[in-house]
Each structure stands twice: as C-alpha cells, then as structure tokens.
Amino acid sequence: MKFAVIVFPGSNCDADMANALRDVCHCAVELVPATATTLTGYDAVVLPGGFSYGDYLRSGAIARFAPVMAAVQAFATAGKPVVGICNGFQILTEAGLLPGALRANRSSQFICQASRLHVCNPHTQFTTAYAKQPDIQLPIAHGEGNYYCDAATLADLREHQQIVFEYVDNPNGSVANIAGIVNRQGNVLGMMPHPERAVEQLLGSIDGLGLFTSLIENHREETHV
C-alpha cells in the first residue's frame, strides 16, 4: 500500500507520519509537496499535523487553497482514503471535505497532553482494529481543536454514524466531545489526536497503531494483495 503524506509549508508531523507508515507499518510512503497537482499512483493520502502557512487567518484556512487540494478533492471523490490528523483535520473542514469547523480551544490555551478517547464507530475502514479495544489513549497538541457544528449537522453525523472518536474528558470544548469524524461516504477521516505519535512503546503508547493497521488490512482485503 502506497501513501502520500502531503507537506504544506509549516507542516511538522510529516516525518512522524512517514515513520509510522514506513518504519513501523512497512508501507511505501512519499512526502508530496503542497504544490503537487496530481496524486496518481497512491492508495491513500494523509494530511499531517502542523501549522500550515503559520496558522494565519485560521488553521487550515490558507492551506485549503494550496494546489494539491484540488487533487485531494478528486482523490476523495473517487472514494479513496484520505486521513487528516490535527492540522490535516482543520484543512479538511476548511476545504469542505468534512463538515463543521475547528475553533480555538475553550481555554484559549494550546493543549499538549495525553487524551483518553472512546472509539464510537469501529466499523469504518480506519477503525476496525479497535473493535475489541474501544477505549484508547492518544496525544493531543493543538490550539484550535474545539470542534464545532450546528445542531442539524450534529444530528446528521449521529444518524450516519460519522462520529468516530469521542474525548472521555473533553479537553477543548468540542461539541458532543467529538475528536474525530468521517464523511458520509466513510472514506475521509479527520481527527485532532495524533495516532502517529503512539505507534511504538518507546513513545509511551501503541494505541495509535490500530488506525494504520485497520486501513492497511482493509485495503489488502479490498484489493486482494
């Protein structure tokens, strides 16, 4: 399985993501600049965490206009998997690939800590490995992780089981404790916690591994390779 990890000016979790996918999960990975205009040849696309374009205006608000985003849009429309972690999630909401928005944390402080999560939907292609482990711990590190959507959107997310991760102790004020969601089609995931920072015991937790193994295993089953 071959991953594209998109590198925006100001991304800072791209190397960690490449480490998780290549060194830990033994997948092919290429770092793809935000100036790229095609994503042909990749099986999955990851928008990593960081401070794209300095988080100016709002996190992700400038990145959504990067040349690569048209290709990300086409990739998602084709039904292929797209994952946005932290700043990647912010970019996906700004781009309209996921509903809602990420606002400043309730405390107005940058939060960097371990966070307990509940995997509410273990039936997505990103979460099947968590079926027997619904409660996990992943690091969070963000200033704008306060997920917001209006009541109609929340009802819609609930009706279609699009809420994938919930915080146990809502650290940032997110509506309905939401930490991660998928789009209606189930092929675009956005989440604020960092699974790539929890893939080796050396990092203190391997609870993030399930996200990558789910995706890899489901892709293998689908493509029979």
Ligand X SMILES: NC(=O)CC[C@H](N)C(=O)O
Which amino acids are annotated catalytic?
86, 194, 196
Task: Determine if 196 is a binding residue for ligand X (CB under 6 A).
Answer: no
C-alpha 25/C-alpha 167 separation (Å) is 26
Task: Determine if 55 is a binding residue for ligand X (CB under 6 A).
Answer: yes
CB of 222 to ligand X, least distance (A): 29
Matching residue, tokens 């700043």 = 87
Contact string (CB under 6 A) for ligand X, positions 121-150, x = contact: --------------------xxxxx-----
Question: How is the chain classified by DSSP, letter by letter?
Answer: -EEEEEE-TTB-SHHHHHIIIIIIT--EEEEEETT----TT-SEEEE--B-GGGG-SSTTTTGGGSTHHHHHHHHHHTT--EEEETHHHHHHHHTTSSSSEEE--TTSS-EEEEEEEEE--TTSTTTGGGTT--EEEEEEEESS-EEE--HHHHHHHHHTT-EEEEESS-SS--GGGEEEEE-TTS-EEEESS-GGGSSBGGGTB-TTHHHHHHHHHHHHHHHT-
C-alpha 224/C-alpha 200 separation (Å) is 28
CB of 156 to ligand X, least distance (A): 25
Task: Determine if 14 is a binding residue for ligand X (CB under 6 A).
Answer: no
Query: Judged by CB, which is closer to ligand X: 43, or 144?
Result: 144
Binding-site member from 4, 5, 21, 49 for ligand X (CB under 6 A): 49
Contact string (CB under 6 A) for ligand X, positions 83-112, x = contact: ---xx-------------------------
Q: How many CB atoms lie within 10 A of CB 204?
A: 12
CB of 11 to ligand X, least distance (A): 8
Size of interface with ligand X, in residues (CB under 6 A): 13
Query: Judged by CB, which is closer to ligand X: 3, or 219?
Result: 3
Task: Determine if 174 is a binding residue for ligand X (CB under 6 A).
Answer: no
Query: Judged by CB, which is closer to ligand X: 145, or 180?
Result: 145
Query: Judged by CB, which is closer to ligand X: 194, or 219?
Result: 194
Q: Report strand pairing: 82-85 vs 28-33.
A: unpaired
Task: Determine if 172 is a binding residue for ligand X (CB under 6 A).
Answer: no
Task: Determine if 210 is a binding residue for ligand X (CB under 6 A).
Answer: no
Contact residues toward ligand X (CB under 6 A) are 13, 49-51, 55, 59, 86-87, 141-145
